[in-house]
Each structure stands twice: as C-alpha cells, then as structure tokens.
Amino acid sequence: MMKQNTPLLFKNILIFIIFFLSSCVKEKEIKGAVVSAREEASKIGVAIMQKGGTAFDAMIATDLALTVCYPNAGNISGGGFLVYRTFDGEVGSLDFREKAPMASYPDMYLDELGNVIPKMSTLGGLSVGVPGTVAGLVEIHKRFGTLEWDELVQPAIDLARNGYIVTDNQEKSFKNKKEEFIALNGVETFYAQNFKSGDNIINLALAETLERIAKFGKAGFYKGVNADELVKRVKETGGIITHEDLLAYDPVWREPINFQYKDLNIYTMGPPSSGGICLGQIMKMIEPYEIGQYSQNTIEAIQIIVEAERRSYADRSLYLGDPDFINIPEDSLLNENYLKKRMSSFDFNEATKSSEISPGTIVWEESEETTHYSILDAQGNAVAVTTTLNGSYGSKVFVEKGGYFLNNEMDDFSSKPGVPNMFGLIGGKANAIAAQKRMLSAMTPTIVERNGKLAMIVGTPGGSTIITSVLQTILNVFEYEMDIQTAVSAPRFHHQWLPDVVVFEPSRFQKSFIDSLQEKGFNIKEEYTRIIGRVDAIHISSSNIITTGADPRGDDKAVHLY
C-alpha cells in the first residue's frame, strides 16, 4: 500500500481552497461605481445606488458629501458641469457655472492706470461669482431624480454632524492656507484650527445649511437665512453679490459637444466651458497622424500632441466665452479642414513657436483645485461631473454661519485682454466680464462611446491642464491599450500655447528624452511641482467589464457597486 504524504495532501487542499476562493472573488461582478476625490463621498454615492437610486441620485449625494469632506473644492457655493448618458443612449449636459454679479463690469479689477490689481479677482468678496451648484443639483433631481430629495441630502448632513477624517494631504493643505483663512475671516475662523491628519472634523454650521437645503431645496440656499448670511459675508469682504443676484440664478441645459475620433464618439462639455471644443480640436488635429504608431510618451507622440494643444489654446483665447453673450463659431472651430490647415505648419524637426501662432508673453502662476467624479449605475446611466470653487478653498472667504467657503470664479474671466489669469490663460473680448455672464471654464467632464456603446466616463481638476489630462487619459486607453488605472496613473505633460513652455510631471520622464525635445526647440519646465490633473474615470469594455481608475496623485478612491 502506498504511504500517504500528509504535508503534500494538506498543500493540495490549501491550493484548492485558495483557487476556489479566488475564483469566487473574480466572479463578483462590478455593476457600477463612483470614483471621486474622497472615499467617504464615493461610498455615499454607492450607498444611494444600493438603496435603488440611479447615477443621478448618487451624483447629488456624492456632490454634497464632497462639500463636507473636501472643502477645498467640493461645494454648494461654486459651480460646475454635468455631462450624462442615460442607459438608453440619451446624452445631455447641465451648465451650473457661476455668473458674474449684476453689478459687475469689464474693468472691475483694473486700477486708474488700467492695470490689473493683484489678487482682486482671486481673494476676497469681489472674486466671488454667483454660485450655481445647489440650483444645478435641484434641477438634476427634478429631471432625473428617483429617490426623494431629502434622502439624497441626508448622508452629507450626517457626514457634517458625525465628522470626516483629515488625510495627510488635507493637513498640509489646511496649513498652507491658514494665513489666508485668518487674513480674510479672523483668527477664530473654523478652518484655522490646526486640524491634523487623523482628526475628525465636525462642521455643525454646514450640517444646518444642508438641513435647510434638504427641507427647502433651492430656496434653502438662495433665499432666507443662507442668502442673508452669504450676501452679508460677501459685502463684509468687499464683494457685490446681492439677494437679487441669488434669486436670478438658473442653471441651463445645453447640447454637449459631440465629435468622432476614429471609432470613438465623444460627448463633452460645450461653452461656457472651453473643454469640449478644445478637446475636440486637439483630437481632430491628432487623428490624421495615427499617433498609435508611436509608443505612449515618445518624442513623436508628444510633439504631435503639444503642437495640436498649442494651436487649440490659441483659438480658445480668441473665440471662447459664454454662448449666451457671444457668438462662438463652434462648427468652424471643429471643422476637419480648418484643423488640418492649422497643423500644416507642424514639423517633426522643430517646435513651432507660440509667437508664430499668435503673439504674447506671460508668466505661469500657481494652480489650485477643483474636483471631478465619475459615476455609473447598474442600469448603465453614466454621469461625469466637474465642479469647482476655482482656487483651493475659492476666495478663502468663509461663511462662518453656513460652514462653507465661497468661490473665486471671477478670476476665470479675462480681467484685461492679454493678461493671464491664475492658470496663465489669457483671453480677450469673448471672455470679458459682464453682468450676469458666465466665465470661461476649462472643465471637461466627458463620456466616450465606442461602437455605439458606453466606453468611458472621465474628467479631472487642474485648471488649464484639465483638457490635456482628459486627452491623455483617453489616448492612453484607446490608442495605447492601457487598463484604466494605468492610464490614469501614467506620467503626464501639458502645453497651453502661452506661456510657450511644455510642462512635464517632475522626475517621471528621462533626462535624455527631455534633452532631445529641447534640441528640437521646445521650452521645457520640469522642476515645477504642480500636479497635472487628478483624473477619476470608469471604463466599460466591449464585453461590459467595468474597471475604474482613481488618481493616485490625490486621495481619490473608486468604490464599486456589486
């Protein structure tokens, strides 16, 4: 009789158990997801879907949760854009971008000599645009909500009452901005409390504001106690928003920008965002070059992308602004022949000079924060939302009794033709300030279809780098066949016509590579510590496998629905 080898038997049983368990795990199919800047917010969105809510319901809850636990960008007091695709293929977009107060006028940030007064459009009450977020969320609920409104607000109220945990990144961010918080709001201000990583922040004032929003909807923010406090705080800090401004705010449903790139059909945000038109222009300029023949981030691929970006951002400065105020030659800007002509001066041997595309010299200034989230529900409804206070913590003006910061979106206007805003972007008449006008944005919430099926939900913060980060993520997946997480994490670069500089994420590109680009006449900036985008995306394969990419550059987190 053969002697039994007991250790071997155990080993085989163990291998069998491991194999069995791992195959069980694999079978756990992802049915939907929320990818956002904070785990708490992603979890809240998924919990709403588990309760039977759709991606639109989840959006409202996620957005409000970000207001609580991501106060640098999540907001009820800023604005944003939604691009959606329903399970049956209907697409649309909602513009809940801030507006200039009624008392605004073109030269409001200029001194007697006609020079831009530093910081006037970025810090304090005068930098605040009339907020659009709450009106936007209520509008989305009216059209698409399936759960009750107050049910969707409740998780954020609970988060504000029970608290959220400070991350390492947040500790640093609060510390960096503490002086500005105090300068505008006094030493007693809520967010100057030296919060440390691991602390639990309870924001009772915000909980009460959210309770009013839960009870009265739009009126809970734009009327009554909240309106009084907001208007008072803006006035105290030098601003001009009135009750009338708040009452007059309405979001607008707009046609998304739609264009084809090879077998992709892309829906993205149109004006007052420049995102969609620029993304379309850049991709259409790239398309004839078959960029997939060069590997990702090779010199040739980067040259093609940078030269297309240069030309598109130049157009942006001249033609784009609020479509309710100016005529935008959308079709011409996206016309294939026009875009082919634009690229006719491109030469692989030598960089085009931005001054040859259009003149100007500017200084690149520091970037701040916005936030994007992507949501997919089990039915297949897809939601891409980018929302912002503009700068990190916006104007730094804190409505103490309301528990929230106000935006500084007015800086997205062109204060003076040719003078850069805080993202180094310049503009002219098309984006000049006017009462009730919306300031031009770069936010690019985007939905990609492939062969008629939903394939990707994507977007990012990053000011002027938003468009180029969305672009690179799409190319990484569809041209370079990366999985979505690798595509999101991959090193990025950015060019925006002016300044005539290509920015590379520091230490992520080889020196010899940078040297070669410099030899071709590209001005390179690599030492800059700015993060280029923080992309949160969802990919749906042709066989309906759902995967997610949360940007490791932040605290971003994908939570799955099973």
Q: Which is nearer to ligand DON, 368 or 500 (by Cβ)?
A: 368
Q: Does 443 bind ligand DON (CB under 6 A)?
A: yes
Q: Which is nearer to ligand DON, 128 or 157 (by Cβ)?
A: 128
Q: Would you call 79 helix, strand, or coil by DSSP? A: strand
Q: Which is nearer to ligand DON, 157 or 532 (by Cβ)?
A: 532
Binding window for ligand DON (CB under 6 A); candidates: 173-181, 204-212, 303-311, 456-464: 456-464
Give CA–CA dist 61/326, Å, rounded: 34
Q: Does 388 bind ligand DON (CB under 6 A)?
A: yes
Q: Which is nearer to ligand DON, 57 or 98 (by Cβ)?
A: 98
| Chain centroid, CA 167 distance in Å | 20
Query: Residue 371 catalytic?
Result: no
Q: Which is nearer to ligand DON, 354 or 441 (by Cβ)?
A: 441
Q: Which of 309, 412, 449, 505 binds ligand DON (CB under 6 A)?
A: 412
Q: Does 461 bind ligand DON (CB under 6 A)?
A: yes
Long-range contacts, stretch 176-181, CB < 8 angstroms, 24+ apart: 177/392, 177/393, 177/396, 180/123, 180/393, 180/396, 181/393, 181/396, 181/398
Smallest gap from residue 370 Cβ to ligand DON (A): 3
Q: Which of residues 187-216 bind ligand DON (CB under 6 A)?
A: none
Smallest gap from residue 316 Cβ to ligand DON (A): 11
Q: Which is nearer to ligand DON, 163 or 491 (by Cβ)?
A: 491
Q: Which of 217, 321, 459, 462 binds ligand DON (CB under 6 A)?
A: 462
Q: Does 551 bind ligand DON (CB under 6 A)?
A: no
Binding window for ligand DON (CB under 6 A); candidates: 100-108, 247-255, 312-320, 461-469: 461-469
Give CA–CA dist 450/502, Å, rounded: 31
Contact 337, 549 (CB under 8 A): no
Element (H, E) at 42: helix 39-50
Q: Which of 367, 381, 472, 496 binds ligand DON (CB under 6 A)?
A: 367
Q: Does 370 bind ligand DON (CB under 6 A)?
A: yes
Q: Which of 369, 377, 479, 556 binds ligand DON (CB under 6 A)?
A: 369
Q: Which is nearer to ligand DON, 40 or 369 (by Cβ)?
A: 369
Element (H, E) at 268: strand 264-268
Contact 409, 388 (CB under 8 A): yes
Give CA–CA dist 298/490, Å, rounded: 13
Binding window for ligand DON (CB under 6 A); candidates: 293-301, 364-372, 470-478, 504-512: 364-372
Smallest gap from residue 106 Cβ to ligand DON (A): 19
Q: Does 227 bind ligand DON (CB under 6 A)?
A: no
- The CA distances from residue 275 to 81, 264, 427, 472, in Å, are 11, 17, 15, 14
Give CA–CA dist 44/37, Å, rounded: 12
- In the set 370, 388, 444, 468, the catalytic residue is 370
Q: Which of 95, 368, 479, 556 binds ligand DON (CB under 6 A)?
A: 368
Smallest gap from residue 73 Cβ to ligand DON (A): 7
Q: Which of 36, 77, 86, 390 binds ligand DON (CB under 6 A)?
A: 390
Contact 554, 167 (CB under 8 A): no
- Signed CA dihedral, 219, 221, 226, 227: sign only: negative
With 0-12 / 13-18 / 19 or more C-beta atoms within 10 angstroms meaning exposed / middle / buried, residue 53 is buried
Q: Does 442 bind ligand DON (CB under 6 A)?
A: yes
Token pair listed for 409:
């979106």
Smallest gap from residue 195 Cβ to ligand DON (A): 21
Binding window for ligand DON (CB under 6 A); candidates: 3-11, 110-118, 458-466, 536-544: 458-466
Contact 333, 315 (CB under 8 A): yes
Q: Does 278 bind ligand DON (CB under 6 A)?
A: no
Cis peptide before 329 (omega within 30 of 0): no
Smallest gap from residue 193 Cβ to ligand DON (A): 24
Phi, psi of 516 (to 5 degrees): -60, -40
Q: Which is nearer to ligand DON, 159 or 467 (by Cβ)?
A: 467
Q: Label each residue of 313-369 as H, E or C.
A: HHHHHHHCCCCCCCCCCHHHHCCHHHHHHHHHHCECCECCCHHHHCCCCCCCCCCCC
Hey, how many other C-beta atoms are within 10 angstroms of the C-beta on 408?
31
Q: Which is nearer to ligand DON, 155 or 461 (by Cβ)?
A: 461
**How far apart, in Å, do the first and last CA atoms of the chain sit?**
50
Residues with a known catalytic role: 370
Residues that bind ligand DON (CB under 6 A): 367-370, 388, 390, 409, 412, 441-443, 461-463, 466
